[in-house]
């Protein structure tokens, strides 16, 4: 058992949504022109909005600094699979 690894697993602070939510979310995000970035290392999808980003991207950035992804960011989206993976540490 790796206790140290579990201590560094990002904490899930979102909610679990049904599978049908993905279709609604896709339409909503396409409306705002948001680009989604898969971040499997952090067990999440980043719905990048530069003004909300906690990873401190450059002022004109069009992509997140995923290597510096931070817990509690409002751009983070987790599916139920991500939540399970995050909890599996
Ligand atoms: S902190 Fe993470 S979720 Fe937030 S914008 Fe940066 S990469 Fe995306």
Q: Tell me which residue range forms the domain holding 42.
A: 3-88
Which residue's alpha carbon is nearest to atom 2 within ligand 1?
69
- Report the range of poorest mean pLDDT among 18-32, 46-60, 75-89: 18-32
Residue 24 pLDDT level (bands cut at 50, 70, 90) = confident
Give residue 69 CA to ligand 1 midpoint distance, Å: 5
Which residue's alpha carbon is nearest to atom 6 within ligand 1?
55
- How far from chain centre, in Å, is Cα 48? 9
Digit-coded pLDDT (tens) for 57-69: 999 898 999 999 9
Q: What pTM, to 2 d.p., does this model score?
A: 0.65
Cβ-Cβ contacts under 8 Å for 69 (sequence gap 6 or more): 10, 39, 41, 42, 44, 46, 55, 76
Residue 16: its pLDDT value, please? 80
28 DSSP 8-state letter: H
Number of domains within the chain: 1
């Amino acid at each position: 058992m790796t206790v140290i690894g579990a201590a560094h697993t990002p904490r899930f602070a979102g909610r679990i949504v049904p599978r049908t939510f993905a279709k609604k979310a896709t339409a909503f995000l396409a409306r705002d022109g948001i680009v989604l970035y898969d971040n499997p290392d952090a067990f999440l999808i980043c719905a990048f909005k530069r003004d909300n980003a906690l990873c401190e991207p450059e002022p004109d950035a069009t992509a997140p600094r995923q290597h510096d992804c931070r817990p509690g960011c409002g751009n983070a989206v987790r599916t139920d699979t991500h939540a399970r993976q995050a909890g599996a540490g």
